[in-house]
Amino acid sequence: MAKKRPKPKSPFHGRWRIVSMSEWDEEYLDEEVEAFIEFDERDGGSFQFGYVQGQIDGRTTSREGKPAVEFSWEGGDGADGTPLTGRGWAILQGNELHGMIFIHLGDDSEFEATRATSHD
């Protein structure tokens, strides 16, 4: 069987602090934990804002010539236990992520994130 080429380290790797979302205010974002989105070296990961949390399955790509990641996710709403799924994407712009998170059959929101300085 042919060996796969090793993937280069993703530019999204690490924890990012979600600093704003178009749909929800900062008070809600940090309701349970400091809002974040996190990617591992293979573009999998997780996020949480408010009571919404999800596990990410992502792929690195490009949009408008900029590094980007597109992902699907599944998780839930911790406030009432509702299972949730969705999709999203993010573009690397300098030291910031700009993207969208979509909840299937529900809300969607733009978000901005900066590299986190420490884990919770």
The model's pLDDT over 77-108, given as tens digits with 9 standing for 90+, comes to 988 989 999 999 999 999 999 999 999 999 99
Q: Is residue 107 part of a domain?
A: yes
Q: Is residue 2 part of a domain?
A: no
Is 84 inside a domain boundary? yes
Domains contained in the chain, number: 1
CATH classification at residue 91: 2.40.128
pLDDT exceeds 50 at position 7:
yes
- Within a domain: residue 6? no
Residue 33 lies in a domain: yes
Q: Does any domain span residue 9? A: no
Cite the beta strand spans of the chain per DSSP E. 14-21, 36-39, 44-49, 52-63, 66-77, 82-93, 96-103, 108-115
Full residue range of the structural domain in which residue 49 is found: 14-115
**Rounded distance between C-alpha atoms, residue 59 and residue 76, angstroms:** 22
Q: What is the pLDDT of residue 120?
A: 46
Given a contact cutoff of 8 angstroms between Cβ atoms, the answer to whether 92 and 67 are in contact is yes
